[in-house]
Each structure stands twice: as structure tokens, then as C-alpha cells.
Amino acid sequence: MGRTSIFMTAVSGLMLLAAPQAHAEPEAPAYTASPITYPPTRRDAVVEDHFGQKVADPYRWLENDVRTDKMVEAWIEAENKVTNAYLETLPGRDVFAKRLKELFDFESFTVPVKKGGRYFYRRNSGLQNQAVLYVRDSLNGPERVLIDPNTWSKDGADALAELSVSSDGKRIAYAVQEGGGDKRTFRILDVASGKTLADEVKWARFTTIEWMKDGSGFFYSRFPETKGFQSVAHNHSVYFHRVGTPQSQDRLIHATPDEPKTAHYGGITDDGRYLTIVSDNGSIQPKLSVVDLQSKDWAVRHIAGDYRSSWFYIGNVDTKFYIVTSAGAERFKLVSMDIAAANPVATDVVPEQAATLKSGRLVGDTLLLSYLVDVKSEVRRFALDGKPAGTVPLPGMGVAGEISGNQGDPESFFEFSSFNRPKTIYRYDAATNKISAWATPKVDADLDNILVEQRFYQSRDGTRVPMFVVRRKDVTGPAPTILYGYGGYSLVFPPEFSPEKLAWVEQGGIYAVAHIRGGGEYGEAWHDAGRLTKKQNVFDDFIAAGEYLKAQKITPPKGLAIQGESNGGMLIGAVVNQRPDLFEAALPMVGVQDMLRFHKFTNGIFWTTEYGSPDVEADFRNLYRYSPYHNIRSGVTYPAILAVTADTDDRVIPGHSFKYVAALQAADIGPKPHLVRIESRAGHGRGKPVDKIVAETADMWAFAAKWTGLQVGPAK
């Protein structure tokens, strides 16, 4: 919720299906079929010396870009052929695909943005691959289409990404995302006529879009133009584009060539006077700078932060800035700062609480601060002087999304959801503290029969870790379980609605989410306890979650599958190596699997503050100990593994998964399948079309069902 999310974002039925009640412990099937014959993969004699340690990398050639390397292209084709042939044998695949399509088929909205008296929002009628941008001239007036990205490509893989509406509501700057990639092209739409202007801005990446108050242009961030799809990203900079001029004339606002691994994100204050710049070197502890846009030179002035604490602007009254910070407060606090002073000093407004302050916004004349209380949302109200003014009446246990509102206008909106409650958009009046539903989705499922529990368990070192467990109310005994984890970058995956998870739970399975260290559930200390040399805590927490699920007989002895994405994909690879006996199936998605070469591609250089640098000896030795690609244990029986990636992923390049799976297939780790599913034009995940999500999830759930013993019922 609020201004802080600008940074975090830029850094995405009438009856249940027939299924047996899981009162007795289901047995995972014994593997009796002949082992799969994998495609041959070329091994090269690549060995490097890292601080006296000889490290083999026989599959390095699989890092090559599929667009230019025919051998990699042929390898992908051969692997997909084997994977698809296996997936076609799974009886639950069609059942899951059919039900997922039904569960996605409901009308959904995003939080409206109010500009110039108009309301802008995205709506998906149900099974559209991409949500469509609409506008209304009044809150409940007729809507009209502004941008429909479903017309941009035949496969629906080109998406409408970031967008920003000018203060007067007359123009929209929007980003086109092609095939799931991170690079963006900006265009400008005239709202009244519906016509797209001639302006085109390329090479934007990891960026916000922020209009000048007068609508003359917008600020954005980008890297220099690069030729290679997987080229290392350096020198992120903030630019200003003036409407009606070519990109070559865009004005450079802020760059740090002496800090090439630092990224910068711009934001405009509600009064339009200042540009705020958040600068992040990958530590998730950014510095804060401001630009007085009334000055002629637009000089950048640093006001707070040194990469050792976090500073996020949430609002201002003239020169008095309200800022969320972790300085002296590991669970964050709200301070004010008069930036007119030569040396601004932070003064506490709302001190650190027992709950974790995640974000905030100044709406009307009220400070709204969003806290996590054991991973559940609570939005607290404060006067401008910090005096408590109660809480926002949320509709239940779940997660409140970003509040869309402006200083001086009490009308705002937010979304709220939980595992058993689809995302509902609420209108909120900050003056009266009243909420009302503005858009309520209707899902074809018996959500009243879905039970959401929060449990706590102990990790290896005694740390208390929260976990959500989701199941049908009639599933009272051990049942096949998918355990999800991430554990990095201070990110939190709170309890929110997901058709994918619901499809598994409807069949009688259990879905669990472990909120392990490395995330931001309990502030910066929780994050710090799971990064750099303490990364093993993340793996220990996740392993302990699996042990708890079995010890508590939530999961049968042979019924646990695990899933994680990106950093979480690395988590899955690491824990499978460390405890292959604990899991029956593993779903590592778009994972960072080679921890010695992640910094060689795209924006991987920014991850060294989370993982450490492979070029530093102490960091190398720590990374080498858990790197999934380098620690596969021949002679040990592994669970069934289905790795998932995409050939257009330019964040975690697919070579990570390619090399990892090639090494799995070459190792003596038992007869269960060790496969890779390679999607085309899907990227790292954001912007993925609905039909690709349905197909991918159906494959994963059918795979997990096969190896955990989940008996998939007939399609609805």
C-alpha cells in the first residue's frame, strides 16, 4: 500500500470437484515404469579455479541465448518433447486444466486511480489473457475501453505493464511488455480521443512512470541500450521525457557512474513540486534524494540513507516530508523531515511498533500506515502529528493491497483478499473511516468450505516461523501437500486469493506457505537472518516446515511436494540437495541455480547484496556450499522434479534451469523423472497470459499429484 510500494514493485463454484475425503493417509505410488530416456546433452571440459577450488561447469554452453545458438534451440526442443510425452500420461492433467479455466473465469478489477475527476482501472472479464484498461468519468458511470493489450499479439503474451495517468487525467504514459521480458517501450495515449501519440521511449527497465504536474512530460528509469538479450545491466539512470520530442532529447536527471550497480526510481509528490528518487544498490535499503522541480537546474539532493537502512517517502505537507525508515527501528517507523533545512533531521512521528510497518500513504489529511501482524494486514490511522486515530475496518483476516488516494482528497480505494476470499475492491473514505465494496468478484467455487489456518513451528535453531495451511474443511486427516517458500529480498507473500492454489485444494490436497527468514515478515532483522552467510537459515526453515507438516500428520509420510519461484526456485534446488528424502516431488520455477555465475547476466549483478559476490573468496565458499547446480548428490535417491522456465526470461536467464536439469539427468539419483518444462514468450512471470498460466499450472499440479498420491477427481 502507498508510496513505498513504488519501490517494491519496481524491484507479480456451486460445488467442489468430486474428490475422495482424505481421512486415511494416501500412499504415494511406487515407481514401476521404466526410467525415462533423456536426450543426450553435450558435456564440455570446462573447469575453473576459484580461490584454489577446481569447479567443473560441463554445461556452460547451455547459457547461450536460444535466439542465436541453434544447439541450445535443439536441446530445448528435445527436452520439451520428452517432458510433454511424460506429462501427457498423467491422468489429472486435463482435470486440472478444465477446473483452472473455470476458476479463472471471473470478472476482476484493479484498484481505481482517480485523476482529473476520472477513474482509471483494469478489468478482466474472466479468461482474457490480459486485463483491459478502462476509464469512467464518474465513480459508477459508464466505462469505455482505453487500451486492450489482447489485440497486440496472437498468443496474448504482449502485456500492458506499468502506466501512469497525468494529474489532469488527460494523458496516459504506458509500458508495452513483449513476451514476458523485463524491457519496456513507453507510449502515450490521449484519453479524450483514444489516440496514441507519436512519442516512443525505449530501453526502460525496472522503472516507475511519473508525470510532471503540468502534464508536459514524465520521468522514467532505464539502462543504456544493449544488444544482447542476456547482457549485464549497468548504470541505471533517471530521465525526463517531454511530450512531443524524440527520446534522443530526453533529459538525464540522475545517474551514478561511480556506482554502476545502483538502480534509481522516481516518484512525484502529490503537490507536484518535488521528484523523489529512491536509489537501491540491491540491498533493499535504499537512499532517498529529492529534486525541487521549481528550480531551473533540477539538482539532485541527497537527504537520507547510506544503504544501511531504508528510507521511503509517503507524503508531504510543503517542505515537511513523511518518511518510513528502518533507521534505529528494524520493524520500521514513521518520521518527518523538513527538507528546507540545510541538514534535514528525522523526527519520530509514529515510533516502531511490535508489528512490522510495510508501507504508508497520506490520504486526505490522514496518515494510513499498513502493518503486518504475523503476516496479516492491519491498516492503522494517524493524525499528521502522529496521534493514533484507530484502524481501517478491514473485512477479515487477509491482505490489504495498495491504497490509491491523494493528499487533500479523502476518497481512496484498496483491494483485500485471502486464500478463501477473492480480491475485492473497496472504496474508503478517510474522513469518515468507512469502507464499501466497489467491485466484488463472483468465483465459481464453494469458498465457505475452504479452511485457512495459521500455524507456527520451530526451525532448527529454535526460531519461531509462521506458516499458513489451506485445505477443505472436510479434509481432516493427512493429505498430499504442496509447500511453497521464497525467503529472500525482504519480500512477503501474504495470504491472498489464487485460482491456482484453490484448484489443488478443491481436489482434497493441502497448500501450505512457509514464511521463512529472508523475507520481510518481521522487519529487517528477519531479512538479514536469511541472506549472505546466513542463507542456510532459509533452507533450515523450509526443511523444518516440511518436517512439521509430516510430524503433525497434516501431510502423510510420502505426500509432500515443494514449490518456489525465482529466488524460491533456488530454495527448492538447495533443499532437494540437502534433504532429498523429505520430499516426493519438487517444482523449482525460474530458479537461480548456478550461484557462481548469476552475476554474469542481465541484472544479476544487483543480487550480490543478497547472496554475496562469487568474486569474493568468503562469499564464493558460502555460495559453493549450497549452489543447486554444484551440489547434486549422485548415489542418492531424489524426488521427482519438474523444473519450469521460459526461453524469454531476461531476469533469471533460462540457462540456470537448463544447466541444473542437465546435471540432474546425468547424475545417478534414482529412476523418478527429472524434467524441465520450457515455455516460449513467457519471461519471468509478470504479464504471462492466462492460457499459459492454466497450462503450466495444470502440468505442475498433475505432476505433484502423481508423486504425492493425490487422487484427482473427475472434471466438473
Instruction: Please enumerate in sequence order all residues whose Cβ is within 8 A of that of 517, keeping only pairs 6 or more positions apart, or say none.
Output: 459, 463, 465, 487, 526, 527, 529, 530, 534, 537, 538, 541
The string of pLDDT tens digits covering residues 399-450 is 998 788 889 999 999 999 999 999 999 999 999 999 999 999 999 999 999 9
C-alpha torsion 480→587→532→516, nearest 10: -30
Bridge partners of 56?
A: 47
Cβ proximity of 41 and 59 under 8 Å: yes
588 has a pLDDT exceeding 70: yes
Topology classification of domain 109-268: Methylamine Dehydrogenase; Chain H (2.130.10)
The pLDDT of residue 216: 97
The pLDDT of residue 5: 44
DSSP annotation of 473 reads: T
Q: If you average pLDDT over residues 627-654, what whole number do you get?
A: 94
20 has a pLDDT exceeding 70: no
Q: If you average pLDDT over residues 493-511, what whole number do you get?
A: 96
State how far the alpha carbon of 35 is from the alpha carbons of 32, 499, 583, 644, 675, in Å: 9, 33, 19, 21, 12
281 has a pLDDT exceeding 90: no
CA distance 329 to 296: 37
State how far the alpha carbon of 105 is from the alpha carbons of 84, 100, 125, 408, in Å: 26, 9, 8, 38
Does residue 668 sit in helix, strand or coil?
coil
DSSP annotation of 268 reads: E
Task: Kindly list the domain boundaries of the chain, sorted by start residue.
Answer: 76-102+445-708, 109-268
Does residue 270 sit in helix, strand or coil?
coil
Instruction: Please enumerate in sequence order all residues whose Cβ is within 8 A of that of 397, keeping only pairs 6 or more positions apart, or say none.
Output: 376, 418, 452, 495
**Percent of the residues in the chain that have a pLDDT greater than 90, as a whole number:** 82
CA distance 578 to 565: 18
Cβ proximity of 286 and 276 under 8 Å: no
The pLDDT of residue 14: 23
Helices 536-551 and 567-578: angle between axes, nearest 10 degrees: 70
Cβ proximity of 367 and 383 under 8 Å: yes
pLDDT band at 622 (very low <50, low <70, confident <90, very high): very high
Q: Which grid cell is 378?
A: 492491519
Cβ count near 404 (within 10 Å): 24
DSSP E strands, 553-598: 560-565, 585-589
337 has a pLDDT exceeding 60: yes
Q: Which grid cell is 621?
A: 565458499
The pLDDT of residue 218: 98
| Maximum Cα interatomic distance, the chain, rounded to a whole number of Å | 75
User: Which amino acid, one-letter code, is at 105?
Assistant: D
Closest CA to 331 of 304, 307, 360, 354: 354
Cβ proximity of 530 and 488 under 8 Å: yes
Cβ count near 328 (within 10 Å): 12
User: Which amino acid, one-letter code, is at 297?
Assistant: D
Q: Which grid cell is 29?
A: 505410488
Topology classification of domain 76-102+445-708: Rossmann fold (3.40.50)
Residues shown for the chain: 716
546 has a pLDDT exceeding 60: yes
The string of pLDDT tens digits covering residues 96-133 is 999 999 999 999 999 999 999 999 999 999 999 899 99
The pLDDT of residue 25: 45
CA distance 646 to 678: 5
The string of pLDDT tens digits covering residues 182-239 is 889 999 999 999 999 999 999 898 899 999 999 999 999 998 887 665 666 778 999 9
Closest CA to 551 of 478, 618, 647: 478
CA distance 122 to 701: 29
Higher pLDDT, 687 or 661: 661
- Per CATH, 76-102+445-708 and 109-268 having the same topology is answered no
CA distance 377 to 374: 8
Cβ count near 618 (within 10 Å): 12
26 has a pLDDT exceeding 80: no
Higher pLDDT, 5 or 470: 470
H/E segment holding residue 572: helix 567-578
User: Which amino acid, one-letter code, is at 46?
Assistant: V
CA distance 629 to 592: 9
Does the model's pTM come out above 0.85? yes
User: Which amino acid, one-letter code, is at 593?
Assistant: Q
User: Which amino acid, one-letter code, is at 503?
Assistant: A
Instruction: Please enumerate in sequence order all residues whose Cβ is within 8 A of that of 44, keeping only pairs 6 or more positions apart, or say none.
Output: 58, 59, 60, 61
Q: Among all residues, which ones are annotated catalytic?
A: 566, 684
Closest CA to 118 of 186, 171, 68, 180: 171
Q: Which grid cell is 17?
A: 470437484
The string of pLDDT tens digits covering residues 161-182 is 999 999 999 999 999 988 778 8
Q: If you average pLDDT over residues 334-362, what whole number do you get?
A: 96
Per the listing, cell 522487519 goes with 523
Does residue 347 sit in helix, strand or coil?
strand
Query: Apex CA 577: angle with CA 676 and CA 659, to 5°?
Result: 35
Q: If you average pLDDT over residues 3-27, what whole number do you get?
A: 37
Cβ proximity of 123 and 131 under 8 Å: yes
The pLDDT of residue 432: 96
pLDDT band at 395 (very low <50, low <70, confident <90, very high): very high
Cβ proximity of 495 and 421 under 8 Å: no
H/E segment holding residue 76: helix 70-87
DSSP E strands, 383-480: 388-391, 399-400, 404-406, 409-418, 421-429, 434-439, 450-458, 464-472
H/E segment holding residue 679: strand 674-679
State how far the alpha carbon of 467 is from the alpha carbons of 19, 164, 330, 671, in Å: 25, 36, 22, 32
Q: Which grid cell is 560?
A: 509432500
Cβ proximity of 492 and 530 under 8 Å: no
The string of pLDDT tens digits covering residues 41-73 is 999 999 999 999 999 999 999 999 888 899 999
Per the listing, cell 514468450 goes with 681
Q: If you average pLDDT over residues 558-565, what whole number do you get?
A: 98
The pLDDT of residue 688: 82
31 has a pLDDT exceeding 60: no
Closest CA to 485 of 508, 464, 504, 467: 467
* Sign of the four-CA dihedral 429, 435, 440, 443: positive
The pLDDT of residue 403: 86
DSSP annotation of 620 reads: H
Q: If you average pLDDT over residues 563-588, what whole number do you get?
A: 98
Query: Apex CA 342: angle with CA 341 and CA 347, to 5°?
Result: 45
Pair type for strands 287-292 and 300-304:
antiparallel
Instruction: Please enumerate in sequence order all residues whose Cβ is within 8 A of that of 77, keeping only pairs 6 or more positions apart, or say none.
Output: none
pLDDT band at 21 (very low <50, low <70, confident <90, very high): very low
State how far the alpha carbon of 108 is from the alpha carbons of 175, 224, 439, 442, in Å: 21, 37, 8, 9
What is the pLDDT of the chain when averaged over all its residues?
92
The string of pLDDT tens digits covering residues 296-336 is 999 999 999 988 899 999 999 999 999 999 999 999 999 99
The pLDDT of residue 260: 86
The pLDDT of residue 17: 30
15 has a pLDDT exceeding 70: no
Cβ proximity of 141 and 134 under 8 Å: no
The pLDDT of residue 607: 94
CA distance 694 to 292: 47
